[in-house]
Structure 1
Amino acid sequence: MPSTDRSASALRDLRRPLFLTRLGLAAERMWRAFWPALSIVMVVLACLMLGLQDLMAVEIVWGAAVVSVIGLAVTLVRGILRFRLPSRAEALARLDATMPGRPIQALIDEQAIGGDDPASIAVWQAHQARMKARAASARAPQPNLRIAARDPYALRYVAALFLAVGLIFGSVLRVQSVAEMTPGGSARAAAGPSWEGWIEPPRYTGLPTIYLADVQGDTLEISEGARITLRFYGEVGALTLSETVSGRTEDLPSASAPSQDFTVTRAGEITIDGPGGRSWQVAVIDDDDPHVDITAPPETEAAGQMSLPFAASDDYGVVSGSATIALDLDAIDRRHGLAIDPEPREAIIVTLPMPIAGDRRAFSESLIEDFSEHPFANLPVTFTLQVEDETGQTGTTEAFSHVLPARRFFDPLAAAIIEQRRDLLWNRDNAGRISQILRAVSHRPEDVFRSDTAYLRLRVILRRLELFDDYGITDMQQEELAQALWDLALILEEGDLGDALERLRRAQERLAEAMRNGASDQEIAELMQELREATDDYMRQLSRQAQQDGQDGDQNQQMSENSMQMTQDDLQRMMDRIQELMEQGRMAEAEQALRELQQMMENMRVTQGQGQGQQSEGQQAMEGLAETLRDQQGLSDEAFRDLQEQFNPGEGQQGQQGQQGQQGQGQQGQGQQPGQGQQPGQGQQPGQGQGQGNPQGQAQGPGQGQPDADTLAERQRALRDELNRQQQNLPGAGTPEGDAVQRSLDRAGRAMDQAEESLREDDLAGAIDNQAEAMDALREGMRELGDQMAQQQQQNGQPGQGNSEGDRQAQNRDPLGRDQGSNGSLSTDESLLQGEDVYRRAQELLDEIRRRSGDGERPDVELDYLRRLLERF
């Protein structure tokens, strides 16, 4: 076959890959020529789909359209001039270049020499056959669409990104809105121009949005700050806006812009000119300033709190307020300690209470604060109240002059102390005068002081005042002395049991006199409240006196079986009964009940305990474990102080002298448990008498007077032995509850043994850890013992059912005045809360428990009980 026929046959077999190669070359040249025009089209479409034409003025849209059309025309012309369709030869060359040896070109070539030589012809034919076979495997190459050299800033990708954003966040349907900007270019324009608008009042007003097309009449009343939005549809320029309510002078949009937004700041006119247009006269509703008034003079409540009633109002609501209390120097009687100029002090500024719920457009509240300890207390001041609304407008009252209400002291000596405190806070230059007056007052203390404690505290204050005055009183020293004088005045004012009883008698006499003279219901209610407060005060003083008597004398005093106990609830019920009789007009019966109450209050006494002879076995065990726990805690504290001394020698020696003296007193009775006999030789534990030979508590020997490790170890051993003895006498042996108590105490005993071993090895840190573990086990054992006692009480029944011992124990009262129960029960089923306000009473009880638990002067048994109550509730 001639070579020409063979090459034609080979090229026929390459028609498909040759066509694809030629098409790829055309795509390459078209992309290189027209990519700028395509980028412009993608950007324009993205903007139209996102609706940017609706957000800009029509002039800007037309300008952008002109620029886009010009840019598109220029890039198309340049692309047409640069574009050229690829030829067949170019396609063959591109396809042939993809294969090794260029087989297509070899098939086209003809033999140049050796045409008459059969061998040469055979070689050529073999070469042609080999090239044909290679050309048969030809594949069209991929087109090269890379144009990075022509587009170094990748603008084509930016345009593609814009188009993707338009497709995702826009809508193709929004493209047609651009037709509305062309004359007669939309159906809406064919139907004629139209408009719509809304009035949005400020959010704080709470008013609804108004649709302008629904407004009847040509007058609008709009709140100041309202926002008006208008939309024009149809031929651009057919509708225009003119308004004088926004006060805008700069950056005004086109009057024919399809979208109009502005804020109303003043009265004026709004006009839409064009087919279907309207006009309105706008009147602005002013946002008035808020208003506040003091509705009544301030009053003082029982505890010295000031109550200042006020009323506030605003057309849309008050959001905040404050009260400023400034000293009124012109109204002060400048005599005695107030004769000199006062030290500069800032006015008191407190926040006014606002209603948590409800309407704040008009409300009444009371500012309740306690300024009893402030330097302005009981001095003329001016009250200025200020409130603020949402827009920042304020309303202020005129200065209201009045004495700043605070606690009043009726005891003459307490009142004198408070007066000198006021003079000290007025100006510290009064210190010399104050010391002279206090020394004169306390010249004969037996005539004015009811207790030595108050007199001694006054002497300490005097010495500190004179010492500070010699070197100049600082701000901190001034505050310290003022606090000390305040505390002393409280002690003098509250007084002792006799004062409380006298106040109670006076309150009862005044109430009885009011009932006999036919006083008004309001007067009787006030006197009844005074009686309740005096009764509460007397009960507190009575309880305090009983505790002091129990600490100073015999703790195990017996109560007669014929005596009667009363709780706070019993007294409350009696006074409620008296008030009920008075409200019913049964004055004779009320007077008789009042006399009975007075007689019982005067005969009342509070007992500290019922004696060990009346305690159950479980109660004795509980008290013994509590004492062991306290001893273990004290031993752990001493080990901790020794550990501190090892790392910081000499630190805290100033405080150790007094501590050692207290330890020497407290340790003398550690070996004797309450109500429990001691074995011979256990009356005093090892190491307890160290402080007796050194009454002053001075450091002794090595270690600066601290017990050495052997002494602590011996005391730990003695404590372990005492726990063993208590375990032998525990009730409930053989029961699951008793076994649980024994396991906890066994764990405590093992921890004590390890603590003893650590102390003998001088490992104080390890000993403290073991002692902490022992205390945890002891607490767990006490809780389990309490559960056992409570369960036993349930099994044996309630007191008064044949168990005489339980009957006697049921007379016991806890610090809250409740029955403790029988058979060692630590709880009671008695209802504590009566009446409707249960939650308030519960909160008051919890606060009282917290207050008493922080009083270090109370008995340890009571403090331990209060701590257990706090842990539980």
Structure 2
Amino acid sequence: MPSPESTPPEILKPVRWPLRLTLWGMTAERLTRAFWPLWSLAIAMLALMMLGIQDLVAVEWVWAAGAAFALALGWAAWRGARLFRAPRQSEALARLDASLDGNPIQAALDDQAIGAADVGSQAVWDAHQRRMRDRLAQAKAVEPDLRVARADPFALRYVALLAFAAALVFGSFLRVSSVTAMGPTGADLASGPAWEGWMEPPGYTRLPSVYLNDITAAGIDVPEGARITLRMYGEVGALNIAETVSDRPLPPDGTDATAQDFQVASSGRIAIDGPGGRAWDISMKPDAAPTVRPEGEIESSYEGDAQIPFAATDDYGVVAGTARMTLALDAVDRRYLLTPDPEPQPAIEVPLPMPIAGARDDFTEVLVENFSQHPWANLPVKLELGVEDEAGQKGWSDTEIITLPGRRFFDPVAASVVELRRALLWTRGNVPEITRMMRAIANLPDDLFRSAVPFLRMRAILGDLEQAGPGMPDATRADIALAMWDLAMLLEEGDLASALERLQRAQERLNEAMKNGASDQEIAGLMQELREATDDYLRQLSRQAQQNADRNPEMAQNQGTMEMSQNDLQRMMDRIQELMEEGRMAEAQEALRQLQEMMENMQVTQGQGGQSPGEQAMEGLGETLREQQGLSDEAFRQLQDQFNPGPQGQQGPGQQGQAPRPGQNRQPGQGQGEQQGQGQGQSQGSLRDQLADRQEDLRGELNRQSQNLPGAGTEPGESARDALRRAEEAMDNAEDSLRQDDLAGAIDDQSRAMEALREGMRDLGEAMSQQQQQNRGQQGQMQGDNPGQQRDPLGRNAGSNGNIGSDENMVQDQDVYRRARELLDEIRRRSGEGERPQAELDYLERLLERF
């Protein structure tokens, strides 16, 4: 490439500034690579001096380190000067040209070597030159490469920068000047001695440190326990320190020490006597002891959980607390088994809860503990609350006499056992009297115990007491007291817990049997065990609900009024058994899981709760739907008898006579007894007339129910009314078909009526859900957060939401699913018999397409 100095200026004019910037970048690049050790050492030395390292070591070490740094700086400067070479303009031009496509700078500076006399060749060369010069306008400065990682593999330069950043945050440029005072000569020595001082408050105060050299005021407020640090520089003894705040004796070397540290223990004065000295009047702010006091009433739950609210304050914050309780013997009713003097018991001490987040200088918390098993439960005790701050100071509340909360027992035998247990823990001298009372309780077990288990446990405890006697050791007394507590808990609520445990065990065994493919006989036995365990659990749950109602009548009145019946539970377990018999084990396991969850969460309420008009309407529509299903089944049996006459067909009506369905009491003369009384001699026509009459009555009942439906004016309410009108029309058509002896058409109309009924109930459930959501803010209690997803105690969709799905038993036969399967198999078999009438085959095809 030609030299830039011999190049016409107009050629390089477009790249003048990119060239300059590239040249400067190359200079910075070479300076960095040559002198990075120099500036790294300089920054590290400045950072150490700003942090005051020189003030923490002896002067000899400071000078030795200074000499080492000076040598290192000299070496770094010599190394940089040897390695540095200033870049030339030609080098910058070459780097800039290399960054462009096609090296346009070199092309612009070149001359045509051959073909200059040829006009065509000259034209090509001129065009090439113009294109290259046009590219010069796109030139941009080349960024310098300042990376020195290859020369500094240990990143020492970053260590120096990190130290300097720390010095900027935690140090000061003023500390650098302290180095000049360490020499034997200099301006500082000529001007006299110097000093530095700091005041550091205790860490728990969260107050900042104070640099005393910056304090010009005569007085300083200092927290108790603050540390004062003073450093003197220059001639030893030129500065003296006098202070009256630490209550400490003078150091052995008197006031000639060059450094002094002490803590502020009282108000007083600190003075630095000598050239440039200063004095301060110290006003100590004492660290007050924390305070604590009970706050509000002490509450306890039925299970005996005590809730003791308290409030604590401190000027800087509380770190821990303790509640201490001792027996208030003077306030105890010393009668009966409490007449003897009690054996010594250690005080009850429990830690107080502290706030997890937020300040602890002023807070309110609640101590929650259960003291039901302590010997002092339900006896008066002296309550003292204590708190402690980080300085170790403690504060105690005034002594208050309270009744130590404990569990309340409503079963009289359980309460007696707990009282005898307290007498045993009161003193071992009560053992003879305790054994006599326990014999009296166990005299007539049938009158006091509901089962043999608690009676046998009491006999075992009685035997242990008689064998141990009044001289029993502490371990034996603790074991007997624990056994008596367990007996009281069993008497109070053990029956329900045992029943629930038995129910869960039966459910688990049945679930395992389904998973392992047990035999039908084994599954039948396990189902019977589940039924018995469920009955027992329901009895115990009802008994507990009665007890809860007696203990808290107001709560019982505010509870929900869902009612659970044995029939509902029986039908649900029947469905589980049917699913297992059909081989649908996955569905049976899911139904069993739902039953288990519902039984665990079930609550029984006393009394028959009143139903809202919407619930009554839903119940009536559900009854109508079940009756319509029954009519459709009977019409189908009549159709079977019509196409399959003979002994089997003639026995159909008698064998398939239905039990009275809910709602049939509105139709006198239509019960099963009358149907069976008419016998097989009744003609098929009269049977169809009866079905038509029942269909007419059912349509009239539906019309009556449609008059008082809730949700008027709402979209789902109007949709429900439209669906019920379609159901009435389908029922009317079914009645006409029955009277015209068109059983197939009647069954189709009845199917459409049932579908319309289901749709109407779903829409009505949505209307009721919207109405309940609108009234949610005005009602005291709701029976569910979302009525559309509400379930009864057995886990089914409640009738008020209209979701009557395939899991509802719409037909009252006990084996409805087996019947449906057998019926479908029979339809398929008959549809394959070509000798049957074409009308029957067409109808069977329609049934197969529908079902």
TM-score, normalisation: structure 2:
0.42
TM-score (norm 1): 0.41
